[in-house]
Structure 1
Amino acid sequence: MSGIAAAPKRYVIAFLLTASLVAVWGVGHRLYDGMMPLFVGVLQLSPLQRMAAESIYSFVYLIGAIPAAIYARRFGYKAAILLGMGCVAAGAFTFYPAAETKAFSLLLAAVLTTAIGWVALETAANPLFVAFGSPERGVFRLNLAQCLYPLGAIIGIFASNWITRQGIVLPQAGAHLAIAHPYIVVGGFVLIGAFLIEENEFPAVARERAPGYAAIFTEAARLLKNKLILFAILAEAASVIGMGALWSSPMRFGYILPQDCWFATHSFMASMILFALGRFAGTALMWKLRPTRVLGGFMALAVLAAVLAALSQGTAQGVAGFALSFLLSITWPTILGMALEGRGVEMKTITGLVATGGALGGLVLRPLHFLLGDTMRLNFAVVAAASLFMALFALYACRTKGNSLIKQR
């Protein structure tokens, strides 16, 4: 029986519609990053304004995850998802007046509204994937849905490259409106998706509500005393730091690989494709193996690959670096899923806490990048340390849940 089929068959469409949102926020994340040079050129952003525009996502994820969890807890998963989709659509359409007026304030409003929508979507959708069916398949379902993220991210990279490098604009449109066109498409797609989600039947858990707001703070305080939850928060931060340290390097991998190699000329796209393949492979393994075993095995290999990359040079360093994109791919959803497993109504609060931990990791990245500079060996050392920490989390989760890394199911 599949992870989806563990829920009644009439909810399969609801699961697939919700999972499609993962691809959409993959598109949104990478589209924004890839189009930043165009934003800078069209709106004539100063260095300080560019820094603010680049940092707003991390800031919103840091302060927005807990309020999003509170909203989802109070009004239900489905209501939180629809709120998030509304914010994403509103923010996406605001890019048009921002492009038309070239006003930095409108750009910030568009990005802020969109980021709030992404946070609300992720905070509600991720635990809902776990709750969609049988508890023993919850982590598998979360990883299965998250397989769509790198596919959306690849689309976002292609779209941003197409627009920024080719100068593509719609007929009779000003060049400055090129930054608005993809967001109009995203906003329209999200509105259609919101209609379909509203019209389809979801399981009762999607409408589950908790009265009042005060209880969530007591619940959060209690959860922070749980060693596994606290470990998961720190492990999620390590995941973001590790991926950030790694992906600050792939653009330089091209200089250490043979120049006639496709990986050398398309280094970041190659990393993202390997990331997608790793997430699919890890999810497939979770069909037969416990997620703790898969995460522990992937992280053990990641430590070895990162140490090899840090100590070697040339082709060996490049190959090890690319391999890390494959191995680190499952960390974010698997760590979150292991924290959510068997937690019932507490899953919304846990998601908010763990997402905040990931956002803190993202904030640590900026000063860390400044300290590490352009030294790839130091970046790989950070990846090794982060991978080791996540391996220890997998081992601790095995012992806490009574699932040995060695014992077969």
Structure 2
Amino acid sequence: MKIFKKNSLKISDNKRTRAAELTLRESIYPLCLVTILFFLWGFSYGLLDTLNKHFQETLNITRSRSSGLQAAYFGAYPLASLGHANWILRHYGYKPVFIWGLCLYGIGSLVAWPCILHRSFGGFCAAIFIIGNGLGSLETAANPYLTVCGPPRYAEIRINVAQAFNGVGTVVAPVLGSYVFFKNTGEDLQSLKNVQWVYLAIACFVFLLAVVFYFSPIPEITDADMAFQAEETHAGTDVKPFRKQYRLFHAAFAQFCYTGAQVAIAGAFINYVTETRENTDSALGARFLAGAQGAFALGRFAGSAIMKFVRPRYVFLCYMTLCIVFIAPSITQRGNTGMSMLYITLFFESIIFPTIVALGMRGLGKYSKKGSGYIVGGVSGGAVVPPLLFAASDAQNSTAKAMSVPLAFFVAAWTYALCVNFVPAYRDVADKFTTTKIGVENAQANDEESQVRDGVMGEEIGKVESPMQTEHVDPEKKM
């Protein structure tokens, strides 16, 4: 039983673990492990966009009804990020949330098995709701974990690189769908069985990954760590009550609007190209969607590289503005021209979600875990905007005209990009974190607690396990 005691899933938030002060080298293993999760939900998200069109054809349902998949999937996010997952995060830590989310993902995938076989769209939506709770739990922990695990000045780069693998997952899923879901099997039942086997494979993989997470030495990051980080950068806003963290709430609003627009565009992409481009069936449309998601992934790698030399808030404003510029022509253009506009839009969508997470969490200090739930909860926009787009599409009998819906939500999200660049209360906090030396130089040299610890730990400070050595620094009760 010693191995289970060694891998305890509970740690006090009133203790400093030093994990928020990890160097780049020390943070490589936990970051690589967490990055696997980004591929998983990118793959799941890509499957959802493909299945949207697939169920329209195999179950003979309308476009607006098929958007129930997105509503079930993203509607689960606030329940996870503001409810059960955030409670576990604040009371136990990041690692338990990773395991919890993976287990929910696996359970939902198993529930999908009989629902698909019996052609139950409502049942499959219920399975997607469980999967959404699992992925919402993973995002509640993984996104903030990447922003705080390692040198703070590289937070936007870290989360965008990891999210690029999310983009890879969204490319793989439509390709799989084009050859498996839309395969000419001669009968819809066999086509649905193909979907069934995919979800069984997902369930097996995520349960195995949950075991790997349990036995992996993942450094825990506490509220005390984040309060120290905010204090050292002189950018902490956690001296104010949580209700006055206006930057956080604006970031959550921007996340709601942006994610809703992104999900709506991807969910309607196959409909768009099959309607506006001649000789394009659903299988070819799915391959075009894979190409568009490839542009999305490329945009993340490119954006991450640019952020090495340009301040992230500048890149964020540029990409957000160009999303608006290129989605607008897709409303009136058709054929290859309209599709190209969507390709370019997806390229510039790429860095927005993770950058909002990173910028929105700046300076939250002891409120970091609670605040991350609000930003990730903004993903619920994906449950609101796609039904609006598909309702407009059914009313106008044109998916192209309905692209005006995500355009409006892009403009609403743009307000946050403007504020973080031109409003001092937003801009100054972001800039102080980009110049901090924590995790880059010996930021602990003048910290008496660090000197005591270094004398005891000696050479072990370079090991992955070293950040887990804890000590009390804040006697106050957790918020």
TM-score scaled by length of structure 2: 0.69
Is contact 2:359-2:430 (8 Å) kept?
no
Is contact 2:94-2:145 (8 Å) kept?
yes
- Residues 47-101 of structure 1, C-alpha deviations (whole Å, 9 max, x = no match): 7986655532132124332012122111101101101111112222333344566
Partners of 2:199 and 2:400 in 1: how far apart? 38
Determine which of 175, 179, 187 is the counterpart of 1:162. 179
Alignment of 1:387-406 (within 5 A): 387-398=410-421, 399=424, 400-402=426-428
- The residue aligned with 1:355 is 376
- The residue aligned with 1:119 is 136
What is the CA-CA distance between 1:175 and the residue it aligns to? 6.7
**Shift in CA distance, 255/59, structure 1 to aligned 2, threshold 3 Å:** closer
Is contact 1:235-1:389 (8 Å) kept?
yes
Partners of 1:167 and 1:79 in 2: how far apart? 43
Determine which of 238, 260, 279 is the counterpart of 2:257. 238
Partners of 2:323 and 2:56 in 1: how far apart? 36
What is the CA-CA distance between 1:131 and the residue it aligns to? 1.3
Determine which of 332, 336, 340 is the counterpart of 2:353. 332
One-letter code of the match for 2:314?
Answer: R
- The residue aligned with 1:215 is none
Partners of 1:182 and 1:295 in 2: how far apart? 36
**Shift in CA distance, 306/154, structure 1 to aligned 2, threshold 3 Å:** closer
Is contact 2:106-2:203 (8 Å) kept?
yes
Is contact 2:272-2:400 (8 Å) kept?
no
What is the CA-CA distance between 1:8 and the residue it aligns to? 5.7
Partners of 1:259 and 1:115 in 2: how far apart? 35
Determine which of 205, 214, 221 is the counterpart of 1:205. 221
- The residue aligned with 1:131 is 148
Is contact 2:357-2:372 (8 Å) kept?
yes
Alignment of 1:85-104 (within 5 A): 85-99=102-116
One-letter code of the match for 2:272?
Answer: R
- The residue aligned with 1:269 is 290
Determine which of 41, 45, 65 is the counterpart of 1:25. 41
One-letter code of the match for 1:332?
Answer: F
Runs of at least 5 residues in structure 1 that lack an aligned partner in the other structure: 211-218
What RMSD, in angstroms, separates the aligned Cα atoms of the two structures? 3.9
One-letter code of the match for 2:416?
Answer: F
DSSP-derived class of the 1:396 partner: helix
Task: State the identity as a percent.
Answer: 20
- The residue aligned with 1:252 is 272
- The residue aligned with 1:186 is 202
Partners of 2:89 and 2:127 in 1: how far apart? 23
One-letter code of the match for 1:349?
Answer: K
One-letter code of the match for 1:252?
Answer: Y
Is contact 2:363-2:429 (8 Å) kept?
no
- Residues 37-56 of structure 1, C-alpha deviations (whole Å, 9 max, x = no match): 666888x6977986655532
**Shift in CA distance, 207/155, structure 1 to aligned 2, threshold 3 Å:** farther
One-letter code of the match for 2:427?
Answer: K
Is contact 1:255-1:264 (8 Å) kept?
no
One-letter code of the match for 2:289?
Answer: F
What is the CA-CA distance between 1:12 and the residue it aligns to? 1.6
What is the CA-CA distance between 1:388 and the residue it aligns to? 3.8
Partners of 2:159 and 2:326 in 1: how far apart? 26
DSSP-derived class of the 1:165 partner: coil
Is contact 2:99-2:210 (8 Å) kept?
yes
DSSP-derived class of the 1:7 partner: coil
Determine which of 93, 115, 121 is the counterpart of 1:76. 93
- The residue aligned with 1:304 is 325
Partners of 1:265 and 1:118 in 2: how far apart? 23
Does residue 344 of structure 1 match 2:365?
A: yes
Number of aligned residues: 389
Partners of 1:225 and 1:345 in 2: how far apart? 14
**Shift in CA distance, 361/54, structure 1 to aligned 2, threshold 3 Å:** closer
Is contact 2:385-2:405 (8 Å) kept?
no
Higher relative contact order (CA 8 A, sep 6+): 2
- Residues 351-397 of structure 1, C-alpha deviations (whole Å, 9 max, x = no match): 22122223145314313442364556654544444444434312311
Runs of at least 5 residues in structure 2 that lack an aligned partner in the other structure: 1-19, 227-237, 436-479
Is contact 1:223-1:229 (8 Å) kept?
no
Partners of 1:63 and 1:387 in 2: how far apart? 24
DSSP-derived class of the 2:351 partner: helix
Task: Give the structure with higher Rg (CA).
Answer: 2
What is the CA-CA distance between 1:26 and the residue it aligns to? 1.2
Partners of 1:100 and 1:15 in 2: how far apart? 38
- Residues 174-206 of structure 1, C-alpha deviations (whole Å, 9 max, x = no match): 776433211121122212222222222112317
Partners of 2:253 and 2:109 in 1: how far apart? 32
DSSP-derived class of the 2:23 partner: coil
Does residue 13 of structure 1 match 2:29?
A: yes
- Residues 157-176 of structure 1, C-alpha deviations (whole Å, 9 max, x = no match): 122222222267xxxx9776
Partners of 1:340 and 1:123 in 2: how far apart? 12
DSSP-derived class of the 1:243 partner: helix
What is the CA-CA distance between 1:308 and the residue it aligns to? 4.5
**Shift in CA distance, 403/184, structure 1 to aligned 2, threshold 3 Å:** same
